[in-house]
């Protein structure tokens, strides 16, 4: 699939680096990505009829070009958008048109998500938060050798283009004063020059002082090497948007000292992962602390590196952008040939819609959704993360959901055991002999029934937010929370033909099942896609409520031989946590993991723990989790 990535920033600048990194992610996902400067983009697309979608940074710079081209596009909103361009009425008008036409909008942090939604509330559901990924590759370049200074020099590195918003003049004045107190302290400015006049001003301010040097733009790998040698990396900007240079500095183990602005403090926690200052005296104080306290410096290096690797990993960023474009391309008209999009197969004698992620040669994971839920219950980002763990991920629409076969509402001609046979039929249709099966809610029950019916087909089980069903003597586990059942009953039935009505209905139901902060915008985005994919048959999804579950299977769970992981939310209002304990007790050797503050849901908050746990669980006996009940 051919995509166009728009270049409009100077080489080695933050915007250019971000665009090229995103393009690299999409290329790694199998897309052919064409990098074009903005002045050539219109003619390039006209010449290349295979381009299906576009990506670029900045709602003004990329957005104006994308509006002219007319193909679907994703905009990555930058600090310049929100801090500068949005304040100009003429620019704001163009940006508004661009975000309204965009298929997706990305911001790097929660603060920029909030501000974007405040500026353009009409597109709030489009905005996703994707933290920047970091990968550093230091060269053998030596900044100290290039400057002719020894190991005793205290180098404060300011990686910033020469622009007023980066405020290099502030840094120059502050460090000159520090140098008067301690001649070891020196400032090195490394970055692109945007304006000859401003560069001249910076050079005049530097003068011939040994305290300050401007070395121009360094190659990316050389910059990483310079950061590794520096005593600290500074950021003195008056406005920012998650500056990647700070993350790179932390990744190579260099302490960071930053100005107290939202774009910096969303990345740096004072005294934990870096130091924060508000004014000249504050910068002097924090630099002196760093120079005088080796224990503090070591702690900041360690914490900064751990923070970046935990929350700004390249695999997570790559999976997130792959998911954004997976959704965008899936939403193109069905007549458009899009490799990897969902398709209808014949499984267990019926038409079911399936979609796969990853390499078919890898171990297969079959994801089985809950009652009334289509494959979209398994977010594409979650699937991409599993695929990045060398798994062949399969999601599919149950009968009466999505693009699979539908029946009249209230008249399902099938039972629970038929849905279990459907799951195995999907594997048959894809030529998969054996799979790791992950089921949530009703999907977990389907997985249990399938494992009992065809144990040789099940490599492992993961049972999420589900129940073992009734005991031999009838119901003996806690029922759903009465307050939630009452609230669900009070949710107004929608007009199934009206998009907005259906979205409100689906979001209201999901909100009642959630256990922690509810991401309403994400649920609205998914609900709108659920409506669009159902093609007017969404009411039939209610047929799952009429399913005949057949005879109780809990008495037979002891026959399951597949390694089993039970995952359950501590605050699940539909299947209280006792269901998870009963399930784990009934299946020999099952491991139980309880997710704190999680309801009847697959929350994105849990992905960083859940995805590695699933990869380990599906890796064979050496990677399996122990039986003990502990957090993931």
Just list the catalytic residues: 441, 572, 600
Q: How far apart are CA 28 and CA 267, in angstroms?
A: 27
Strand bridging mode 591-595 / 564-569: parallel
**348-379: burial string, b at 16+ Cβ within 10 Å, e else:** bebebbbbbbbeeeebbbbbbbbbbbbbbbbb
2 contacts 294 by C-beta, under 8 angstroms: no
Q: Answer yes or no: are the C-beta atoms of 563 and 461 closer than 8 Å.
A: yes
How far is 190 from 554, CA to CA, in rounded Å?
66
- Please answer whether residues 163 and 217 qualify as being in contact, where contact means their C-beta atoms are separated by less than 8 angstroms: no
Q: Tell me the two tokens of residue 27.
A: 């290329």
Count of residues making up the chain = 632
CB atoms within 10 A of CB 424: 21
Q: Could you count the other beta carbons within 10 Å of the beta carbon of residue 498? A: 12
Contact present, 172 and 206 (Cβ < 8 Å): yes
- DSSP states along 337-405: --TT--EEEEETTEEEEEEEES-TTSPEEEEE--TT--GGGS-HHHHHHHHHTT-EEEEEPPTTSTTS-
Tokens of 20: 């090229």
Report the distance separating Cα 258 and Cα 235, nearest Å.
Answer: 5
- Is residue 458 within 8 Å of 433, Cβ to Cβ? no
Q: Which of 511, 106, 544 is nearest to 368 (CA)?
A: 544
Question: Which DSSP string corresponds to 147-214?
Answer: HT--TT-EEEEEE--B-GGG-HHHHHHHHHHHHHH-TTEEEEEE--B--HHHHHHHHHHHTT-TTEEE
**Cβ-based neighbours of 465, under 8 Å, separated by 6 or more:** 370, 440, 441, 444, 567, 568, 569, 572, 574, 575, 600, 601, 602
Q: What angle do CA 590, 595, 601 make, to 5 degrees?
A: 100
Give the residue from 355, 362, 521 showing the smallest Cα distance to 432: 362
In the three-class reduction of DSSP (H, G, I as helix; E, B as strand; rest coil), residue 608 is classed as helix
Tokens 């600290």 belong to residue? 232
Cβ pair 444, 469 in contact under 8 A: no
Q: Which residues have a Cβ under 8 Å from the Cβ of 307 and sit 6 or more positions away?
A: 250, 269, 273
Tokens matching residue 296: 């503090």
């Amino acid at each position: 699939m051919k995509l166009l990535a728009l270049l409009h920033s100077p080489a080695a600048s933050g915007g250019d680096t971000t665009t090229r990194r995103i393009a690299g992610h999409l290329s790694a996902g199998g897309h052919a990505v064409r990098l074009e400067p903005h002045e050539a983009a219109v003619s390039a697309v006209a010449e290349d009829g295979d381009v299906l979608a576009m990506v670029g940074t900045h709602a003004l710079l990329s957005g104006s070009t994308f509006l002219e081209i007319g193909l679907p596009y994703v905009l990555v909103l930058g600090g310049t958008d929100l801090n500068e361009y949005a304040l100009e009425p003429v620019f704001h008008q163009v940006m508004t048109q661009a975000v309204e036409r965009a298929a997706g909008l990305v911001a790097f942090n929660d603060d920029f998500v909030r501000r974007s939604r405040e500026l353009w509330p009409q597109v709030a559901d489009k905005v996703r938060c994707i933290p920047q990924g970091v990968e550093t590759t230091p060269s053998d370049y030596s900044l100290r050798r290039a400057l002719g200074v020894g190991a005793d020099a205290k180098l404060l590195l300011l990686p910033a283009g020469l622009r007023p918003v980066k405020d290099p003049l502030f840094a120059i004045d502050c460090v000159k004063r520090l140098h008067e107190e301690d001649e070891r302290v020196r400032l090195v400015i490394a970055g692109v020059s945007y304006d000859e006049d401003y560069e001249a001003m910076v050079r005049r301010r530097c003068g011939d002082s040994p305290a300050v040097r401007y070395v121009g733009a360094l190659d990316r790998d050389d910059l990483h090497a310079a950061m590794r040698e520096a005593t600290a990396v500074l950021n003195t900007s008056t406005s920012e948007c998650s500056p990647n240079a700070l993350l790179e500095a932390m990744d190579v183990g260099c302490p960071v000292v930053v100005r107290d602005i939202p774009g910096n403090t969303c990345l740096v926690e004072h005294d934990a992962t870096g130091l924060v200052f508000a004014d000249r005296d504050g910068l002097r104080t924090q630099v002196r602390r760093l120079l005088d306290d080796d224990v503090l410096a070591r702690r900041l290096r360690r914490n900064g590196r751990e923070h970046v690797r935990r929350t700004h990993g390249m695999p997570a960023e790559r999976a997130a952008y792959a998911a954004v474009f997976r959704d965008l391309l899936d939403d193109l008209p069905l007549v458009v040939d899009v490799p990897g999009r969902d398709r209808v197969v014949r499984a267990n004698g019926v038409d079911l819609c399936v979609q796969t992620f990853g390499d078919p040669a890898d171990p297969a994971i079959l994801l089985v959704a809950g009652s009334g839920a289509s494959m979209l219950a398994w977010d594409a980002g979650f699937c991409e993360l599993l695929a990045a763990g060398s798994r062949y991920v399969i999601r599919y629409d149950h009968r009466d959901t999505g693009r699979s076969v539908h029946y009249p509402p209230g008249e399902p001609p099938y039972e629970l055991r038929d849905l279990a046979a459907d799951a195995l039929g999907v594997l048959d249709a894809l030529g998969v002999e054996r799979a790791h099966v992950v089921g949530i809610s009703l999907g977990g029950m389907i997985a249990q029934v399938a494992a009992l019916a065809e144990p040789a087909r099940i490599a492992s089980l993961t049972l999420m937010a589900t129940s073992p069903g009734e005991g031999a003597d009838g119901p003996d586990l806690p029922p759903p929370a009465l307050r939630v059942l009452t609230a669900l009953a009070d949710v107004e039935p929608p007009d199934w033909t009206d998009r907005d009505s259906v979205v409100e209905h689906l979001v209201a139901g999901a909100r009642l099942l959630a256990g922690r902060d509810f991401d309403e915008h994400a649920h609205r985005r998914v609900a709108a896609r659920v409506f669009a994919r159902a093609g007017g048959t969404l009411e039939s999804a209610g047929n799952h409520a009429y399913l005949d579950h057949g005879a109780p299977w809990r008495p037979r769970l002891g026959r399951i031989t597949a390694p089993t992981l039970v995952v359950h939310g501590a605050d699940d209002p539909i299947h209280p946590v006792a269901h998870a304990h009963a399930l784990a007790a009934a299946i020999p050797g099952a491991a139980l993991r309880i997710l704190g503050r999680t309801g009847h849901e697959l929350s994105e908050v849990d992905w960083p723990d859940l995805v590695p746990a699933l990869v380990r669980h599906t890796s064979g006996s050496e990677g399996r989790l122990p039986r003990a009940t502990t957090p993931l």
